Structure 1
Amino acid sequence: MEITRKGQAIPLEGTVPTVGEAIPSFSLTTIKGETVSNETLKGQLAILSVFPDINTSVCDQQTRTFNEKAANIDNIQLISVSRNTKEELNNWCAAQGLDMEMWIDDKGEFGQAFGINMPSLDKLARSVFVITADGLLAYKEIVPEMVEEPNYDAAIGAAKDLL
């Protein structure tokens, strides 16, 4: 699979999970230094908002928009995932005055497991995944053009339909 960045093709590595199937195993670190995994998501409905680099305008917009639209919906956990460093993500949160759940894919394990790893850029492809409380993939969007935003309403609607 591939996406584009301003029209230039960028290959993705890994296997994209299928809607309705269990999500793949992964282990990540939070901006608070805690280790989390696919098991951490069990028992809660989650929206995983994945972005390439928090220090770009589209990623900043994606993260702020999901926070505005989904962070306060009862029984939905909003989690942002990227390859940014702990310091970069903490600095962004501090600058925005936000306390968000952010997970770091420092080894590219999540990206590989979800088929969104961009090794040529050392980043993750912009994407959104809705995970059921049972650990199943309920919705996915891998944004085909890297500089475009995801469909916020479709992802949030898919999550709300599971409440």
Structure 2
Amino acid sequence: MNAIPERTGVTTFRGRPVTLLGPAVGVGDQAPDFTLVAPDMSPVASASLAGRVRIVSVVPSLETPVCDLQTRRFNEEVAGLGDVSVLTVSVDLPFAQARWCGAAGIEGALVGSDHRDLSFGTAYGVVIKEFRLLARAVFVIDANDTVVHAEYVPEIGEHPDYDAVLAAAKSAESARRAA
């Protein structure tokens, strides 16, 4: 059995370095497969999202201020980008994710919990070894399942580069429509 790679020097939590488990995923890589749990306890497999441009927004917990704002912003801004979807991933329990979506008034938000087996987190290299949470990161995946944007946020308490993420998604969606 292969050991899961450990990476340091990628991100910090409140200024303290943390260890990320899993390989780094970068631009040009094929998007790794994963399975999450939806708020209704059904499986969310990466294959079910194929064929469209998607922003995969990774947060430590929906119930923290930066994660809440990140999730709201991507769900609001994606509306003007065409056939682009947003998937927010955390290790929050599916029940907590459902509660957050209801309280936030975000109907139809696609959220997935990686609490069960860290399938997503280890495939995308975002599992924080010290806390069993996911590091803040954002990936844009095109309709051909190629990563066109990858950002591991250097400090977990900071926001991602929203403009760069949205520009990558818009470009990928324009390329999809032109194909």
What interval of TM-score do these two structures reach, taking the shorter chain for normalisation? over 0.9
1:55 maps to amino acid:
E
Distance 1:90 1:122 in 2: 21
Q: TM-score, normalised by structure 1?
A: 0.95
Structure 1 segment 84-99 matched on structure 2, within 5 A: 84-99=92-107
Q: Tell me which of 114, 129, 142 is aligned to 1:105.
A: 114
Q: Which has the larger displacement, 138-147 or 20-29?
A: 20-29
What is residue 163 of structure 2 aligned with on the other side?
153
- Asked if the contact 1:38–1:135 (Cα under 8 Å) also holds between the matched residues in 2, the reply is no
- Amino-acid identity (%): 36
Runs of 4+ aligned residues of structure 1 deviating over 3 Å after TM superposition are none
- Counterparts of 1:49-88 in structure 2, within 5 Å, are 49-88=57-96
Once the two structures are TM-superposed, the CA of residue 26 in structure 1 deviates from its matched residue by 1.1
Residue 120 of structure 1 is matched in structure 2 by 130
Which one has a bigger Cα radius of gyration? Answer: 2
- How many aligned positions are there? 163
* 1:18 and 2:26 correspond: yes
Query: After superposition, what is the alpha-carbon deviation per residue over 1:79-105, rounded to whole angstroms, capped at 9, x for unaligned?
Result: 111100111111111111112110111
Q: 1:49 is matched by which residue type in structure 2?
A: S
Structure 2 residue runs of 5 or longer lacking an equivalent are 1-6, 174-179
Which residue of 2 is the match for residue 136 of structure 1?
146
Contact 2:18 2:129 in 1 (8 A): no
Letter in 2 for 1:35: P
Relative to total residues, which structure has the larger helix share, 1 or 2? 2
Quote how far apart the aligned CAs of 1:73 are. 2.8
RMSD: 1.2
| 1:3 to partner: Cα distance | 1.0
Counterpart CA distance in 2 for 1:118 and 1:139 is 21
Superposition pairs of residues 21-32 of structure 1, within 5 angstroms = 21-32=29-40
Inter-partner Cα distance in structure 2 for 1:65 and 1:28: 22
Helix, strand or coil at the partner of 2:121: helix
The one-letter code matched in structure 2 to 1:139 is H
Offset at residue 72 of structure 1 (A): 4.7
Give the unaligned 5+ runs of structure 1: none
Cα shift at 1:129: 0.4
Distance (Å, rounded) in 2 between the aligned partners of 1:33 and 1:87: 9
1:135 counterpart letter in structure 2: D
